[in-house]
Each structure stands twice: as structure tokens, then as C-alpha cells.
Amino acid sequence: MSRYRYDAYSVKIKRWRNKLAAIKYLGGKCKKCGLECEEDMVGIFSFHHRHPSEKDFAISDKYDRLSWVKIKAELDKCDLVCNNCHGRIHATLQNDQSFLDDVFDYHGELDIWLWGREKPEPTKGSRLHKNMCPECKKEFRGQKRRKYCSTECSRKAHRKVERPSKEVLQKEIETTSILATGRKYGVSDNTVRKWARAYGIL
């Protein structure tokens, strides 16, 4: 075996061992569906960052480059999920409630295969309802199960931490520090920097 092939094989072994250790560190099973990881299932598990704004690096890219201490610090921001659940988390249409509403309300020849029964023909105008957006209090017409008037309102409602206004953020950074501002809002200093860059402060 050539030195190059031996080195590449050694790296592969190290990365596999590090990923297995990371999986066990996070409990050894999928946070969503409970699938337990056996030693021959390492490749079907991923590390999902709970808050993407706090992500410093992709763990899968750093197994053989960073110390275990740094990897563990990043793992503390993650949930262990199987690839199936990870794909569902990041599937854009899967998380678009208004799109899903239209899928279930749509009438067509495949109803019997999808739902096990034929859906009755909707009467004119029956698919649209007058709803109130809980985020901006604006009335809108849409599917009965549709909760928010827009994607923007949906994102605001599901945001874990409400971002302060530009004026408030700038004042807090100037009077205290980025670290202190992060502690106040319960987010990392990297998140505060992203807020500041979005406002053009930094």
C-alpha cells in the first residue's frame, strides 16, 4: 500500500471514529424519530444546528481538522437526526404550510389513491376563507388552515429571539459590547454580529 493510500485510509478511520464519538455524545439516537445508531449506521446520521445563525462550522467538514474540545462545543448547538428526518427539516415545501394546505384541498383524479376516498367537488369560493394573521393582525383570504398572511410573518412568528431594532442594537453595542449584547438576548456573539451586518452597523 502506497504512503498516500495509507494516509487517506488513516484519515477515513479517524473521521469515522470521530463521527461515532460525536453521535454517542449526542445520545446515540435520532432526536426526531428515535432511531438508534448502531456502529454500521454511522453514515446515515447528521448533526442539525438548532439555530443556524449560531453555526460556526459544519461538523462533518472538521472531524480531522479540529480538536475534540472544539467539536464538542459545536455539537452542543446541534441535535442528532437521521438523514431522513434531516431532509424533512430542510425540505422547503414540507415546511410551507400554505403549500401543504393547497395540496390537501386540491381536487383531482388521484384523490382515491392519496386519501383512500374521493373528495367532493368544492363549491365555488369554498376553498378561500377570511383569516386573521396573528403576527401583523392583517386580514387575508386563503386556505382555512393557513395561519399567516406571508412567509415573512411566518418566519417572524417562529423566530426564537426577536431581533432588536437597528437603533437599539447600535446603542447597546456602543454602550456595552457585542458579547454583553449577546448575553442579554440569549444568543452568541456571532449572531449579534450578523444582526449588526444586516443593519449595516458593522
Please, what are the domains in the chain? 8-90 (3.40.1800), 128-158 (no CATH), 164-199 (no CATH)
Measure the CA angle with vertex 158, ends 82 and 146; round to 5°: 95
From the list 120, 146, 115, 124, the residue with the least C-alpha distance to 133 is 146
| pLDDT tens-digit map of 93-116 | 566 666 666 666 666 666 656 666
Q: Where is pLDDT greater, at 4 or 98?
A: 98
Residue 82 near residue 35 (C-beta atoms within 8 A)? yes
Q: How far apart are the C-alpha atoms of 31 and 12, rounded to whole Å?
A: 26
Q: Where is pLDDT greater, at 111 or 121?
A: 111
Q: How far apart are the C-alpha atoms of 185 and 194, rounded to whole Å?
A: 14
Predicted pLDDT of residue 24: 92
- DSSP sequence for 39-50: TT-GGGEEEEES
Over 80: is that where the pLDDT of 18 sits? yes
From the list 184, 185, 139, 143, the residue with the least C-alpha distance to 162 is 185
User: What is the DSSP secondary structure assignment for residue 94, as one 8-state letter?
Assistant: G
Q: Where is pLDDT greater, at 192 or 96?
A: 192
| pLDDT tens-digit map of 155-174 | 777 666 778 888 998 998 89
Q: Look at the pTM and tell me if it is higher than 0.85.
A: no
Predicted pLDDT of residue 125: 47
Q: How far apart are the C-alpha atoms of 135 and 99, rounded to whole Å?
A: 19
> Alpha helices, DSSP H only, in 81-150?
83-90, 97-105, 111-115
Residue 56 near residue 49 (C-beta atoms within 8 A)? no
Predicted pLDDT of residue 123: 47
Predicted pLDDT of residue 96: 66
- Conformation bin of residue 177: beta by default, left when phi > 0, alpha when psi is -120 to 50: beta
From the list 32, 44, 15, the residue with the least C-alpha distance to 79 is 32
| pLDDT tens-digit map of 54-97 | 888 888 777 677 888 888 889 999 999 999 988 888 776 566 66
Over 80: is that where the pLDDT of 21 sits? yes
Q: Where is pLDDT greater, at 26 or 113?
A: 26
**Mean pLDDT of the residues in the chain:** 78
Over 60: is that where the pLDDT of 2 sits? no
Predicted pLDDT of residue 110: 64
Residue type for 189, please? D
